[in-house]
Structure 1
Amino acid sequence: MTSPKNDKNTRTTGRPTLNEVARLAGVSPITASRALRGVSTVATELVEKVQKAALELNYVVNPAARALASAQSHSVVVLVPSLSNLLFIDTLEAIHRVLTPKGFEVLIGNFHYSRDEEENLLRNYMAYQPRGFLLTGFDRTESSRRMIEASNIPCVYMMELDSAAGVNCVGFSQLSAGETAAEHLLSRGRKRLAYIGAQLDQRTLLRGEGFRKALQKAGRYDPDLEVLTPRASSVGLGGELFLQLLAAHPDVDAIFFGNDDLAQGALLEALRNGIKIPEQVAILGFNDLPMSEHMVPRLSSINTPREAIGRRAAEQMLTLMAGNKVARPVEDMGFELKVREST
């Protein structure tokens, strides 16, 4: 059998090729191509063999190369979990400002906090051989991880940090942010502290973990005061969960919300129901969205460097696409506690 290194039809990038799929399936490259394109004249058993081989090798069809073998992509794919959250809009705008003047097209995919949706987007975009991927966080399917590794396409991760070898990432410690939230509320003399989180993506869970650890260290942790729901984060949900928590635990005197929209909803319900903030309950948000400093009372929040993360991630990507190593592959952009009237 010919070694992939010596196969003149094997790409020098190391990515799986159609020829390799054909060899593994025991068919000709033409049959493999037809099977993957869904040509009806290919026998069912051969289609199954080819699909199994493609899956095993993490091969993805490349229609762009099929249309024009000499074409070079100038696209960078950015995958985010939401386009309704201003957090990611700020990041995307910064990425555009860095990459567009350099002649790159930014392709945006929204996976709605679904790991399976993200996997499908990765598979679809890889078919067009983008120059790079900017991905949100590290929580994804094992199949997605294998695809990314097999593709050899430059990748930069945003919003979280990981010091593993070969990983390029720009973000901040979600765990430390949660710890800071707890320490701030404890410093205000609060004794019954709660955490309310929604959506339950990895970053929300890490914030909660940091908050929990700080409370445990201070001897103030009560698992009954941790409210987590997979429902989508929103102003309405924040108000709803706020009232439910106080009805069940009227002695709660401080709440850390996993996102500002939840905290904003709590402030509105407090105003509507005559609950004094922060006299009865201190409220702290996360992300410091634009409306937070205009709420009544003004919302204390942890400000996250959304624009800076997008800018630095895009700059890292330019370095990688030029074939160079990033000087600081792990960039901690930090965060800032904004203390206002609600705490």
Structure 2
Amino acid sequence: MRKSVEPGRTARRGAHVKLSDVAKKVGVSPITISRALRNPEVVSEELREIILRTVEEMGYIPNLAARALAGRHNGIVGVITPALHQYGFAGLMLGIEDRFRDTEFTVQYSSTLHHAEGEAGLLKSFLTQKPAGVVIAGAESYRDLLPLIGNATCPIAHITDLSQEPETLVVGLDHYAAGAEPTRFLLSRGYQRIGFIGRGADVRSRRRIEGYEAVMREAGRCDPDLIIGGDATSRIGLGRELFSRLLQRVPDVDAVFAQSDELALGVLIECKARGIRVPEDFGICGFNDLEFSSFTEPTLTTVHIPRYDIGYRVADMLLRAISDEPLDEDKVDCGFSIIPRGSTR
């Protein structure tokens, strides 16, 4: 039996408000309301304002499941990432959000927290909801993902290391080169015993370690003791800890290439605490070119990754695929650049 509202109380705002209720209030058909919410430009500005005001007043919430049943998709673009909590992802997210901002699509994020076994499960979860498209931003392995991608009814775009499997709708960079070139840079500045700080938590960081090792091997300076990694809640604190351990292991280390600017900042702080002169006696190179790296003392030499551009371009690529528009390129290398600053000679 339907319960009546008690005297003195009002029904909860938006409770059981249907599309037809909004249409009746405005005095138009439900399909007009639906079209106005999905593609606002199809109705006049005056009617659009009335519809939006009525939707707000009545607290109407569109039923995305019903939209998915009625059309090709539910209007959602899913983004799967291993590191939603890390500073480096913020630039990617901003690029993605800016490209989708004035479209009909809503972006939803989900993070694997670097657990590769969860990637396929998250993709399955998104696909069961009939999304407009999906961005996989940094998959660890495509072994379980490729069958799902092959059977997906929506386009799926990728942010990857360019050595990984996808060949279409791909934006990324060569992380092997992004490990090799900074190492060559440090050698060119006269540093010889160059340590590598940061564990190979994912395929991209492992590729950077491989690039570092190859260059050190070419220079006749490869030493496994120079590579050190670990885990901690604070990446800056971890940088201090790993550098302290590295000094105990290799006292004559004279530079480090860190997997992130946070780790590099930790090394810089520990150098100051120990009275080690940077860059005269010790060189530091970070990775990601986060905002604070140009404000430290001395400023941090780092590897700039065009994170905003990567996010924007993968979102644009996905939008074109959703609309069946031709692509200029199937696979885009956004590259990287070394930013020399005060922490290296």
Question: Aligned in 2, Cα 1:265/1:127: closer, same or farther, shift over 3 Å?
Answer: same
Aligned alpha-carbon RMSD (Å): 2.1
User: Partners in 2 of 1:86 and 1:164 — Cα distance?
Assistant: 26
The one-letter amino acid paired with 1:306 is: R
User: Partners in 2 of 1:174 and 1:291 — Cα distance?
Assistant: 23
User: Partners in 2 of 1:221 and 1:333 — Cα distance?
Assistant: 29
Partner of 1:234: 235
**Greater alpha carbon shift after TM alignment, 96-105 vs 151-160:** 151-160
Partner of 1:273: 274
The one-letter amino acid paired with 1:204 is: S
Aligned pairs for 1:106-185 (under 5 A) are: 106-140=107-141, 142-162=143-163, 166-185=167-186
> 1:294: Cα distance to partner?
1.1
SS in 2 for 1:69: helix
The one-letter amino acid paired with 1:258 is: Q
Partner of 1:337: 338
| Contact in 2 for aligned 1:305/1:335 (Cα 8 Å) | yes
> 1:321: Cα distance to partner?
0.5
| Contact in 1 for aligned 2:81/2:138 (Cα 8 Å) | no
Partner of 2:88: 87
Deviations 1:133-179 (A, max 9, x none): 11123423633332222214211111422586742211211111111
Deviations 1:174-232 (A, max 9, x none): 11111111110100111111111136111111111111111111111111111133656
Report whether the alignment pairs 1:245 with 2:218: no
SS in 2 for 1:129: coil
Question: Aligned in 2, Cα 1:165/1:299: closer, same or farther, shift over 3 Å?
Answer: closer
> 1:287: Cα distance to partner?
0.4
> 1:80: Cα distance to partner?
1.5
| Contact in 1 for aligned 2:65/2:74 (Cα 8 Å) | no
| Contact in 1 for aligned 2:116/2:139 (Cα 8 Å) | no
Identity, in percent, stands at 32
TM-score of the two chains, using structure 2 as the length reference: 0.76
Partner of 1:318: 319
| Contact in 2 for aligned 1:171/1:334 (Cα 8 Å) | yes
User: Partners in 2 of 1:296 and 1:331 — Cα distance?
Assistant: 35
User: Partners in 2 of 1:241 and 1:218 — Cα distance?
Assistant: 24
Aligned pairs for 1:204-223 (under 5 A) are: 204-223=205-224
Partner of 1:59: none
> 1:323: Cα distance to partner?
1.7
TM-score of the two chains, using structure 1 as the length reference: 0.77
Question: Aligned in 2, Cα 1:215/1:296: closer, same or farther, shift over 3 Å?
Answer: same
The one-letter amino acid paired with 1:324 is: E
Q: Bigger radius of gyration, 1 or 2?
A: 2
User: Partners in 2 of 1:105 and 1:67 — Cα distance?
Assistant: 13
User: Partners in 2 of 1:157 and 1:113 — Cα distance?
Assistant: 16
| Contact in 1 for aligned 2:298/2:343 (Cα 8 Å) | yes
Question: Aligned in 2, Cα 1:164/1:117: closer, same or farther, shift over 3 Å?
Answer: closer
Question: Aligned in 2, Cα 1:177/1:327: closer, same or farther, shift over 3 Å?
Answer: same
The one-letter amino acid paired with 2:174 is: S
| Contact in 1 for aligned 2:67/2:74 (Cα 8 Å) | no
Report whether the alignment pairs 1:101 with 2:102: yes
Partner of 1:262: 263
> 1:94: Cα distance to partner?
1.2
> 1:244: Cα distance to partner?
0.8
| Contact in 2 for aligned 1:64/1:127 (Cα 8 Å) | no
SS in 2 for 1:324: coil
SS in 2 for 1:167: coil
| Contact in 1 for aligned 2:230/2:238 (Cα 8 Å) | no
Question: Aligned in 2, Cα 1:314/1:233: closer, same or farther, shift over 3 Å?
Answer: farther
User: Partners in 2 of 1:151 and 1:244 — Cα distance?
Assistant: 47
User: Partners in 1 of 2:290 and 2:166 — Cα distance?
Assistant: 33
| Contact in 2 for aligned 1:260/1:292 (Cα 8 Å) | yes
Partner of 1:305: 306
User: Partners in 2 of 1:339 and 1:68 — Cα distance?
Assistant: 50
| Number of aligned positions between the proteins | 281
The one-letter amino acid paired with 2:136 is: L
| Contact in 2 for aligned 1:259/1:286 (Cα 8 Å) | yes
Report whether the alignment pairs 1:70 with 2:70: yes
Question: Aligned in 2, Cα 1:199/1:176: closer, same or farther, shift over 3 Å?
Answer: closer
Deviations 1:242-277 (A, max 9, x none): 111012211001110011110011111111221211
| Contact in 2 for aligned 1:98/1:314 (Cα 8 Å) | yes
